[in-house]
Structure 1
């Protein structure tokens, strides 16, 4: 199978679209660039569809690479026949390929190898032929050397037969089919660990049994984590008698002495070779599906988080709350620059609330503060209450901001490079303030796994997780666009075609030469060649540029089209921008060429109507119920405001203003069946919830979404 047909089989996308997309990928084009600026070539495929092409392109290339390695390995054993070569080349997937390679893949000496060395393979062939009646008499001829008895001879022959059975693709596939349909996963608690305090979080799975094909991803990952931590042991099982009977039906065709030996060999092959390997394979496949599901959940959450509502370029006072160590306060300018930092002690043990109020009041006036950001960790509610008691001269909005990952950032090299003269507490407060101004620009500096919106993110395949999350970050950054004159190295590194090294070069050039005046100036950055400019220019913004198109998503390669349109209607480009009524009257067909079609022209007009429009909603103030300060204040039936702070396959977690988040189980999101949690709630959504149950000892809160 060729690459294009392989991708088409797995995606059902048009062949021409696949071929052109693969060509663009081979030209080192990025997914955001292809989906945004090459719609004519791809047939208007979106980022998800292009991502699927990338996925299957990589799977195909991995498969082909493995085929080459296997062919070489078998050829070196001088065992490669034309028939086997044809089967290997035609193998449609890794599983089929590895089954073909199994007979030649000996990493250690097996019982069958020993039996062959002792000359027992002819005896094994006689038994497999099923034509002999007095097997023991025949076996006696092989009693010599290491083989000291007929029993030894027959046992060795059976080991060889068991290996042959294990290597039969049809038998392996039959057991795979049974495992796929009927396998049960069960657990047994390790009794010596039941009193361990950490074991209690896994107690639901101490003695558990469930269909492997139907177990939810979060439950499988929880069970596997419990096993890894030594609290339980797992087992995968099917109906052994049924599985063995199916093997016997394929092999035994007589009722003589040979059949008796084959029955023993089949049971040995099944219990010693087939079931252990294939049940592990089935569990691994289930784990991979669970990983994929968990990664998808994490990716959706991360996207919603990164595209969270920005306050914009406002002057912010940010507070990282605390009791004994005080509240770390910073004042930031509209671009997130640090102007001032101080520590106040409004809470116990010092309880200097009067001094704290006075200090906050003077700082808001001195630095013309427009909004206050309060971290949502320890002492958050007490600090918010204090701030709301202050009578500010101006209208100042107060926001509670997620601290997740702020400590990771504050101790990172990025933070040290930004603020070499300040400690981690100041850096953490700065991060909280900047998250309010622009969540995307700040959160890209933090390892996505540390942001706190995942589901078993440390248990899934870390390579696949990182790749998916990097793709999400890249997609979000390019969807929003980046101001090249204010963006950090971290943010610039995710721009299409740029990467970490070029991002550093851009910032260095900016520091040495001042702000970029036009997109053309970007070409002066060292090592930023034509390809990188082509890929990235449309996603980089120049505010207040001489050419207004430099602050839009119109790609420089299309500037001439806009200029022609403007000239044809007797306007200059700056007058055309924002003139929605005029733009909608344009006959786009007359501007179509071989390389530029209606999709690109429609995108250009849409951008000209509202150039540089931020796709994100603006941040809104939210207030928790001020009477609820801890889990002890909760009562069944209460209606409370909350903010969704994590979404999983089994429900959504909601911040209701106390230390513990409550769970809206999937069954409590709606009165009807819910197939996708994301269809009902999204990250950072403001909701009203009803308290269903409060378990104070286990610190668990059950909620229901109130319509």
Structure 2
């Protein structure tokens, strides 16, 4: 099977779209570039569809690589027969491929191999022929050397038969189907661990039983974590009698001594070889599905977080609150540059409230502060209350900002390179302030797993998780676009076609030569060749450029088309931009060519109407209920404002202004069935919730979404 045929068999996409997309990928084009600027070639595929093609392409290449390795191994052992070669080449998945290879793997010291060495394979063949009536008499002929009895000989022959049964593809596939449909996952607590400190958080799973095919991803991952930490033992089981009966029906066709020996071998093969192997495989498949679900949740959350509402280029005073160690205060200019830092001590034990108010007031005036960002960690509510007491001369908005991952950033190499002369506390405050100005630009500097919007992110396949999150970050960065003259190397590295090394070169060139004044200037960056420019130029913005298109999503390769449109209308490009009346007069069909079609032309006109428009909404001020300061202040039935701070498959967590977040279980999002939590809430959405239950001892809060 060819690559194109393989992808067609796994998707609903057209052959031509797949072929052209694969060609573009082989030309080192990126997903954002292909989806935005090569719509004619792909048939207008979106990023998700192109991402699926990438995934299936990688699967096919991994399968093909494994096929070649197996064929080589068999050929070297002189075991490769034409029929087997054809089956291996025709295999459509790794499981089928490994089943074909199983009988030919280099022998290990198995019971069956030892029996072969003792010359028992002919006896095993006689028994499997099922024509002999006096098996013990036949087995007596093999009693010699290590084989001291007939029972020894028969046992060895059965071991060989058990291995043959284990290697039969039809039997393995039959058991796989039974496990897929009927497998039960059950747990038993390790009694010696019940009293261990962290054991109680897993107490729901101390004695659990559920269908493996129906277990929700979050519960399976929780159970697997409990097992990994030694608190429980997991067992995968099916109906043994039914499974054994199905195997017997495939093999036994007589009613003699041979059948009796085969029946014993079948039971041995089932319990010792088939069930352990295939139940582990079934659990691994379930784990992979759970991983995929958890990674999908994380990816959705991360996308919403990265595309969170920016305040924009405004001067910000940021505070990382604390009690004993004080509140770390920084002042940032509109571009996020650090202008001043200091520590104030408004809370216990120093309680310098008046001095702190005076300092904040003077800083706000001195640096013409337009907004204040307060981290949502320890002493956040107390600090917010202090700030709201201050009567500023100008209207200053106050925001509470998530601190998740700020400490990771502050101790990172990126932060040290940015602020070599400041300690981690100052860097953390800067990160809080910049998150308010532009969440995307700041959060790309932090390992996504540290941002705290996942579901069992440390338990899933880390390679797949990192890969998926990188795709999300790349998608978000390119969807928004990047100001090439202010962006950090971290942000630039996610621009289509750029990468970390070119991003560093761009920042270095900018530092040494001043701001880029046109997109063509980008070509002067060392090692940034034509391909990188083609892939990335349209995602890089240059404010106040001589050519207004340099601050738009119009690709430089289409500048000529825009000039022609403007010329035909008797306008300059500048006069055409933002002029909806004139743009509506353009007959797009007139400008279609063999390369450029209506999809690209429509995108160009749409961009000209509102060039460089940020797809994100602007940040809005939010205020928690000031009477709720701890979990003890909560009462059932209360209606409270909150902000969604994490979304999972089983519901969403809501920040209601105290240390503990409350949970809106999926059943409490709506009175009707909820298929996807994201259909009802989004990350950082401001909502009203009703308190259903408060468990102070376990620090758990149950909420309901108020309509």
TM-score (norm 1): 1.00
Q: CA deviation at 1:614?
A: 0.1
Q: CA deviation at 1:145?
A: 1.3
Cα deviation 1:213-244 (Å, max 9, x = unaligned):
00000000000000000000000000001000
Contact 2:318 2:330 survives alignment (8 Å): yes
In structure 1, the partner of 2:535 is 535
SS of equivalent residue, structure 1 residue 202: helix
Q: CA deviation at 1:245?
A: 0.6
CA distance in 2, matches of 1:623, 1:644: 14
In structure 1, the partner of 2:544 is 544
CA distance in 2, matches of 1:7, 1:595: 25
Contact 2:226 2:232 survives alignment (8 Å): yes
In structure 1, the partner of 2:632 is 632
For residues 424-573 of structure 1, the aligned pairs below 5 Å read: 424-573=424-573
Cα deviation 1:398-438 (Å, max 9, x = unaligned):
00000000000000000000000000000000000000000
SS of equivalent residue, structure 1 residue 197: coil
Contact 2:665 2:704 survives alignment (8 Å): yes
In structure 1, the partner of 2:601 is 601
CA distance in 1, matches of 2:26, 2:44: 19
Which segment drifts farther, 286-295 or 192-201? 192-201
CA distance in 1, matches of 2:191, 2:435: 46
Q: CA deviation at 1:322?
A: 0.1
Identify unmatched segments of 5+ residues in structure 2.
none
In structure 2, the partner of 1:134 is 134
SS of equivalent residue, structure 1 residue 469: helix
**Where has structure 1 moved over 6 Å in runs of 4 or more?**
none
For residues 33-52 of structure 1, the aligned pairs below 5 Å read: 33-52=33-52
CA distance in 1, matches of 2:264, 2:107: 26
In structure 2, the partner of 1:410 is 410
Cα deviation 1:188-221 (Å, max 9, x = unaligned):
0011111112111100000000000000000000
Q: CA deviation at 1:492?
A: 0.2
Cα deviation 1:354-410 (Å, max 9, x = unaligned):
100000000000000000000000000000000000000000000000000000000
TM-score (norm 2): 1.00
Cα deviation 1:298-334 (Å, max 9, x = unaligned):
0000000000000000000000000000000000000
CA distance in 2, matches of 1:407, 1:111: 55
In structure 2, the partner of 1:651 is 651
CA distance in 2, matches of 1:379, 1:104: 65
In structure 2, the partner of 1:400 is 400
CA distance in 2, matches of 1:159, 1:301: 52
CA distance in 2, matches of 1:457, 1:560: 47
In structure 2, the partner of 1:704 is 704
CA-atom RMSD in angstroms: 0.5
Q: CA deviation at 1:280?
A: 0.1
In structure 1, the partner of 2:370 is 370
In structure 2, the partner of 1:352 is 352
For residues 99-138 of structure 1, the aligned pairs below 5 Å read: 99-106=99-106, 108-138=108-138
Q: CA deviation at 1:74?
A: 1.1
SS of equivalent residue, structure 1 residue 640: strand
In structure 2, the partner of 1:20 is 20
CA distance in 1, matches of 2:106, 2:476: 47
Cα deviation 1:130-173 (Å, max 9, x = unaligned):
00000000000001111111111000000000000000000000
SS of equivalent residue, structure 2 residue 642: strand
SS of equivalent residue, structure 1 residue 663: strand
Please state if 1:186 is matched with 2:186: yes
Q: CA deviation at 1:90?
A: 0.2
SS of equivalent residue, structure 1 residue 585: coil
CA distance in 2, matches of 1:405, 1:369: 25
CA distance in 2, matches of 1:585, 1:640: 51
CA distance in 1, matches of 2:305, 2:290: 22
SS of equivalent residue, structure 2 residue 198: helix
CA distance in 1, matches of 2:641, 2:37: 42
CA distance in 2, matches of 1:533, 1:246: 62
SS of equivalent residue, structure 2 residue 188: strand
CA distance in 2, matches of 1:65, 1:107: 23
Q: CA deviation at 1:75?
A: 1.1
In structure 2, the partner of 1:616 is 616
In structure 2, the partner of 1:309 is 309
CA distance in 1, matches of 2:85, 2:650: 47
In structure 1, the partner of 2:687 is 687
CA distance in 1, matches of 2:230, 2:79: 44
In structure 2, the partner of 1:270 is 270
Please state if 1:299 is matched with 2:299: yes
CA distance in 2, matches of 1:5, 1:280: 31
SS of equivalent residue, structure 1 residue 317: strand
SS of equivalent residue, structure 2 residue 187: strand
SS of equivalent residue, structure 1 residue 644: strand
Q: CA deviation at 1:106?
A: 3.6
Contact 2:107 2:113 survives alignment (8 Å): no
SS of equivalent residue, structure 2 residue 215: coil
Q: CA deviation at 1:107?
A: 6.1
In structure 1, the partner of 2:320 is 320
SS of equivalent residue, structure 1 residue 133: coil
CA distance in 2, matches of 1:315, 1:484: 20
CA distance in 2, matches of 1:145, 1:194: 52
CA distance in 2, matches of 1:154, 1:508: 77
In structure 2, the partner of 1:279 is 279
CA distance in 2, matches of 1:523, 1:260: 79
CA distance in 2, matches of 1:616, 1:109: 63
SS of equivalent residue, structure 1 residue 675: coil
Please state if 1:255 is matched with 2:251: no
CA distance in 1, matches of 2:327, 2:507: 33
Q: CA deviation at 1:108?
A: 2.5
SS of equivalent residue, structure 2 residue 282: helix
Cα deviation 1:594-619 (Å, max 9, x = unaligned):
00000000000000000000000000
Cα deviation 1:627-647 (Å, max 9, x = unaligned):
000000000000000000000
Cα deviation 1:495-527 (Å, max 9, x = unaligned):
000000000000010011000000000000000
Q: CA deviation at 1:60?
A: 0.3
Identify unmatched segments of 5+ residues in structure 1.
none
Please state if 1:338 is matched with 2:338: yes
CA distance in 2, matches of 1:503, 1:201: 44
